[in-house]
Each structure stands twice: as structure tokens, then as C-alpha cells.
Amino acid sequence: MSKTIMITGLPGSGKTRLANSLGLPVVDDISRDIFKNLAQYRHCDVVITDPMAITASPYRVEKHLEKFLDQPVEFWVFENDYDQCVINSNARLRSEPSRTVDGLLRYLTKNFNQEWFVRADRILPVWR
């Protein structure tokens, strides 16, 4: 059976870095295109990253992804470590100056749905 891994966490937590290291196709930031880019991954292995998912109910996200992809979803969640994510995001700004995330980081930290830690298959430390 195919597997879907959904990785969520704050910007700068290491979602994309981890996803790219797994050797599976990656759909980065699905909230930008909702499910448009996922159609090709029905019944295929895929890693999905999305920072905005942490504000939603993980059970609702799971229901929609499993229904749409027709396969189970594993949830990997990065800890809510605002300070380290700011450090990581600022380091990334040196190579991607147009990608500022200060406001988004503050919003997501404040609105991080704690249900993710209950539902998560893996809870990960923020990348350092």
C-alpha cells in the first residue's frame, strides 16, 4: 500500500529539509494550491508539507487527505519552537531575501492547534 506523510510545523522548523531527505516525491506547502497538485499522487507514495495545517484540526485534515488520496496518512509534527524557527528563518533570508515570514511565524505560533501533538505519529524537534 502507498503511503502519505504529512509534515507540518512552523516556517523554519525543517519541514522541507526533512521531506527532501526522505527520497519520496514532495508536495511543498499544499495550502497554496489546495489539492490541485495532489491528484497525481492518488495511490502513490508522497510527502506533503504545509505550515498552515497546524491551525486546523488534524482530524479534519486527515479525513480530507485520506478521502482525496484514498490511502492512510502519517502525521509528523515539528515542535512549536518560535525562537529557533526565527533563527532558522533569518538564516534562510540571507539566501532567499524575498521570503520574509515574521508575521506568519507570530500568527502560527499563537494559533498552533495543540491537537496535532495528540494525533501525531511523530513529534520532531525543530531543525538546528
What is the model's pLDDT at position 34?
63
Question: pLDDT means per 10 residues in the chain (128 residues)?
Answer: 93 96 91 71 92 92 90 95 93 74 91 95 97
What is the model's pLDDT at position 93?
78
Nearest to 124 by CA among 25, 8, 41: 8
Whole-angstrom Cα distance, residue 45 to residue 1? 9
The total of structural domains in the chain comes to: 1
Please give the model's pTM, rounded to 2 decimal places. 0.90
For every residue of 56-88, DSSP letters joined together read: S-HHHHHHHHHHHHTS-EEEEEE---HHHHHHH
What is the model's pLDDT at position 28?
87
Which CATH number do you get for residue 65?
3.40.50.300
Residue 119 CB coordination number (10 Å): 14
The boundaries of the domain holding residue 95 are 4-124
What is the model's pLDDT at position 95?
75
What is the model's pLDDT at position 33?
62
What is the model's pLDDT at position 73?
94
Residue 109 CB coordination number (10 Å): 16
Q: What stretch of H or E contains 16?
A: helix 15-21
Whole-angstrom Cα distance, residue 5 to residue 46? 6
Whole-angstrom Cα distance, residue 83 to residue 24? 30
Contact 91, 101 (CB under 8 A): no
Residue 100 CB coordination number (10 Å): 14
